[in-house]
Structure 1
Amino acid sequence: MVKAENIILKPVAYPQVDVPTELPELSDAVYQARLENVLKMMAEQALDCLFIYADREHYTNFEYLAGFDLRFEEALLMLSANGEATYILGNECLPLASLSRIPAQVELYQAFSLPSQPIDALRPLSAIVAGHGLKSGDHVGMVGWKLMAPRYARRDVFDIPQFILQEIGQVAGTGALINVTDAFIDPAYGLRVLNTADDIAYFEYGAAWASIGLRDMLDSLETGVSELAISRRMRIGAMTENSHPLTVVGKNNDAGMVYPGNTILRLGDRFNCSLGLRGGLSCRTGYLAYSSEDIDPDKRDYIDVLAKPYYAAVVNWYENIRIGASCGDIYDMVEAALPKVQFHWKLNTGHYVAAEEWLSSPFEHGSTVKIRSGMCVQMDIIPSMDGYAGANCEDGIAIADADMRREIQERFPRVWTRIEARRRHMIDVLKINIADEVLPLSNLAATYRPYMLNKDMALAVH
């Protein structure tokens, strides 16, 4: 196991990786395969009908089949056991149904629309779903976005608005509704946990651009400007975010998930920055400093006390990730290398990445989930020590066996070239011995500069 004393601060350039120029398109065959998998799950659970809920914040289970996301409104995708699909949409999302990637009918339900908008064509939701075959006694699965069941609630507990449940329950009977969100996102068996080569190529585009935007900002990082001003240097255009962007110092940094404001960046400040796009997020945390001389005298042991132990845990995480590895063992390894009681990390030691930044996580004590080909996971260890800047170099990876690697190389050669460049950087420069199946998706590729104004020095294994 790599230890803190094996970590050094040395000159490191960022990896030379091409910029993605074209977003890979997911084919109709990908969506058809997803639909078939969902219908198979419905048959196994004896479901007559499935309703997938969506809103602007929680749309990815819906989009998984639909191929489009939402603006402003709630929505439902109704799927019958015979394969008939129906979108139930509000005023402004109704035109989006033309982008559907699966055959589907469309219904307007104006109660999903914004407040005070026209309701001249409003019909009861109960009438709409009954008109598409829902009937009393049907066994109905409801898909939200949380793991209510089986993790910490019964299957008759839902994270879906009551007015929707009430209308559907009027037709099928309230006792007929069960929560089956876990069929999509459970860490062990969720349908969305495993990805295809197409998915990985698609996610790589967003993950790469998130890291490119963050690097552009880091390369121009300076003091004397505001959080908002420095955030504009990410320059990623109108790409879909999967997390709010961060460039925060001081109290905003301590609070965590807040938007950048007018606070001025000053020498010695604690600084946290991240950018997440559909497919991946990159985050970096440290000091606005060139060296230890720029921070509070009583915190000048930061590198030895926090940054090096943290990076040693990061290295061990990457080196232990491989097909067949136990996610519970990886969690315990991090706990041994970076004890929670001392370093005060609170969340999981990694999680799944998909269209959303956090799908679910297999990384917890006692987890029996094994790493499998097709998983996309985030290195997400976030220590905290009173008075110190944090330490974070969060990036995502994909796991691919030999067959999947060959498919990516043959079908997406430019994606593969970028992945290979990142692998070489991690192995040859940072001396992180990742397995063949580990495919880095971020152009930052585990490069971490804890003194963030010093744009030459980074941590690496000695």
Structure 2
Amino acid sequence: MTSRSIVLAAVEQPPLELPVALPRIAAAEFARRRAALCEAVGTDWIAVYGDREHFANIAFLCGFDPRFEEALLLLAEDRALLAVGNEGAVYAELAAHGVEIVLCPSLSLMGQDRRRGQTVPALLRSAGIQKGDSVGVVGWKTVAPEEWESPTPAIAAPAFFVDALRDAAGDPELVTDATGALMSSAGGLRAGNGADQLAAFEWAAARASACVARITTSARPGLTELDAVAAMGYAGEPLSAHVMFASGPEVAIGLRSPTDRPLELGDAVTTAVGFWGGLSARAGLLAHGPEDLSAESEGYLEQMAVPYWRAIATWYETVRIGVGGAEIQGAVEEALAGAFAPALNPGHLIHLDEWLDSPVYPGSTETLVSGMALQCDIIPDTTRPGWAANCEDTVAVADEALRAELSGRHPEAWSRVLARRRFLEEHLGIAIADELLPLSSTPARFSPFWLSPGFALVYAS
């Protein structure tokens, strides 16, 4: 690999244009998705589990996301039945499309009235599940054979659902795991997205990245972490992850929420904001430049920030339709040149939930296909005390036909995507494939020193 020179240069912040109207998914599209899932799984029934954390599968199939409670979506060739708890029953009337809504108070919070509606076993009987019927269960993840020792197949859904389904079918072997049909990066229905879904993800990614940019440019010594995060301008967008901020000695715990800790000059800092379909994260130092750093932080720019951004730029230049996950993994590792390694997969699929699955891992035989939405997500596996680096954003890959559909149906989103492509190529010097669509407002823009937000790492011209 030819090593190009990387410099810290003056780079204007791209326009943080906020899309207002959220693109909607049509009822006909939800129906198409349900039919495609039934065809892919091939069982008599499909039972899709959901709760507040694991909402995305049900939301993908009918538009309803469980809040406070659990939910169960039952699908057959001519049925779509959504079982919800007491509070979900009202919300489902507004949010769900093309399904019959049934009250099942066992899905409600503890202590609430159970006198109306049906129990889970009664629900399954009334839906029509009979002895001898096969049932494919969609939980919240798949469990690989090497992770499991019991002869009974592992299904990542609560036992009281799975047990009731096994009782209804009359034979435990008739109840199988169908999660991969929705969630697998190798052919799962949610791994590929149409134009409307990508436009909705662009809405989320643009707004999330703008929030992160406002946090990083507003953070100052003397402010608390909570003060810094307040600058994000949260407007109530549905979150895919907790808002994160950490500083100082706890910066390595990047998942934690902001506290009242006052920020100090030279602190390592990290933050992340994720909405349904897009997440952005940044980490660096709360400093104007190397002159503000303590002795323990010397060498940060050359030894941490530059190798890290080289890996980010390499990722953008490698991602394209047809590229293998192993090739992306290898390119990132080569770009890092032994400085450190990725702690997790250097890239993964994103959807309504922050992490769907990943085709990127050592030895992967999977390839990227049109319609995938991905996170450029490279987390260093090790760092010195007082150092931090992160530059995570959302992209998609789309073939010529999908790009034409996106530009025709969502011209404003398409205009923003084209502006971001120009930013990557003209301001950062990153050469990208025609099919790579940046969905975040600040793709690959990495300012390692937060108090000098007008400067970012770029390839020297």
TM, length-normalised to structure 1: 0.95
The answer as to whether partners of 1:213 and 1:236 remain within 8 angstroms in 2 is yes
After TM superposition, list the pairs within 5 Å mapping 1:160-309 onto structure 2: 160-173=157-170, 174-309=172-307
Instruction: Give the percent of matched residue pairs that are identical in Structure 1 and Structure 2.
Output: 36
Q: Does 1:374 align with 2:371?
A: yes
Deviations 1:332-391 (A, max 9, x none): 11122225x751432001000111111110000111111111011110111131224221
Q: 1:86 aligns with which of 55, 75, 81?
A: 81
Unpaired runs of 5+ residues, structure 1, are: none
Q: Does 1:97 align with 2:96?
A: no
Aligned twin of 1:57:
53
Which has the higher mean CA deviation after the structures are superposed, 140-149 or 14-23?
A: 14-23
Q: Does 1:112 align with 2:102?
A: no
Deviations 1:73-126 (A, max 9, x none): 11100111x230111111110112213554322222111111111112264311
Structure 1 77/206 Cα, relative in aligned 2: closer, same or farther at 3 Å? same
Aligned twin of 1:331:
329
CA RMSD in angstroms, aligned pairs only: 1.6
The answer as to whether partners of 2:297 and 2:387 remain within 8 angstroms in 1 is no
The answer as to whether partners of 1:325 and 1:371 remain within 8 angstroms in 2 is yes
Aligned twin of 2:14:
15
In 1, the alpha carbon distance for the partners of 2:396 and 2:78 equals 31
Could you tell me which amino acid in structure 2 is paired with residue 168 of structure 1?
A: L
Aligned twin of 1:158:
155
Q: Secondary structure at the match of 1:92?
A: helix
Q: 1:55 offset after TM fit, Å?
A: 0.6
Q: 1:220 offset after TM fit, Å?
A: 1.8
In 2, the alpha carbon distance for the partners of 1:408 and 1:62 equals 25
Could you tell me which amino acid in structure 2 is paired with residue 62 of structure 1?
A: I
Q: 1:455 offset after TM fit, Å?
A: 1.5
In 1, the alpha carbon distance for the partners of 2:152 and 2:320 equals 34
The answer as to whether partners of 2:217 and 2:450 remain within 8 angstroms in 1 is no
Aligned twin of 1:6:
5
Structure 1 335/151 Cα, relative in aligned 2: closer, same or farther at 3 Å? farther
Could you tell me which amino acid in structure 2 is paired with residue 191 of structure 1?
A: L
In 1, the alpha carbon distance for the partners of 2:16 and 2:220 equals 24
The answer as to whether partners of 1:149 and 1:179 remain within 8 angstroms in 2 is no
Which has the higher mean CA deviation after the structures are superposed, 165-174 or 108-117?
A: 165-174
Q: Secondary structure at the match of 2:457?
A: strand
Aligned twin of 2:354:
357
The answer as to whether partners of 1:15 and 1:445 remain within 8 angstroms in 2 is no
Q: Secondary structure at the match of 1:348?
A: coil
In 2, the alpha carbon distance for the partners of 1:151 and 1:260 equals 38
In 1, the alpha carbon distance for the partners of 2:67 and 2:104 equals 15
The answer as to whether partners of 1:155 and 1:179 remain within 8 angstroms in 2 is no
Q: 1:149 offset after TM fit, Å?
A: 4.3
Could you tell me which amino acid in structure 2 is paired with residue 403 of structure 1?
A: A
In 2, the alpha carbon distance for the partners of 1:157 and 1:370 equals 27
The answer as to whether partners of 2:254 and 2:271 remain within 8 angstroms in 1 is no
Q: Secondary structure at the match of 2:8?
A: strand
Q: Secondary structure at the match of 2:251?
A: helix
Q: 1:31 offset after TM fit, Å?
A: 1.2
Could you tell me which amino acid in structure 2 is paired with residue 253 of structure 1?
A: V
Aligned twin of 2:313:
315
The answer as to whether partners of 2:16 and 2:210 remain within 8 angstroms in 1 is no
